[in-house]
Amino acid sequence: MARRGWHILREPGALTLARHLPVRLDLCARAGFPPARKGRLAQQIRQDMWRVLQDLRGFSPVVRVEEAKTGLTVTAGGRAAQPFPRARAEARIAALLASPAHRARWLTYARLPGDA
């Protein structure tokens, strides 16, 4: 378990950051990213996703970062109390993952050592 009650699950080529175990994705969106530090990227995405969805009753964020051929694949979402507006919540996550300003900030924080 990570500090402050967060679980960090490390597997070869992947990292999952979750508040609760077992990991459950009632809602999610995916996006591709260039190579970066998986843990730092997951933490930044989790924080902003929480801000965007803090009005969603029972929301508990989950971020999974997996190595892909061209960089990283991020699956962001989590669990929520039922019922909830799935399509609207997933659209908000997808918009967050596509936001150029957020992506630039996340990647600056998560850049690999030696990257300029």
Please write the tens of the pLDDT for every residue from 79-90: 998 888 999 999
Count how many Cα atoms sit within 13 Å of the Cα of residue 58 in the half-sphere of its side chain: 11
Average pLDDT, the chain: 93
Q: Which pLDDT band holds residue 25 (cuts at 50, 70, 90)?
A: very high
| Dist CA 46 CA 61 (whole Å) | 6
| CA 74 vs CA 7, 15, 59, 66, 71: distances in Å | 17, 10, 18, 6, 10
Identity of residue 40: R
Q: Kindly compute the dihedral angle of the four CA atoms of residues 11, 15, 18, 24, in this order, to the nearest 10 degrees.
A: -70
How do residues 39-61 score in pLDDT, each as one tens digit? 999 999 999 999 999 999 999 99
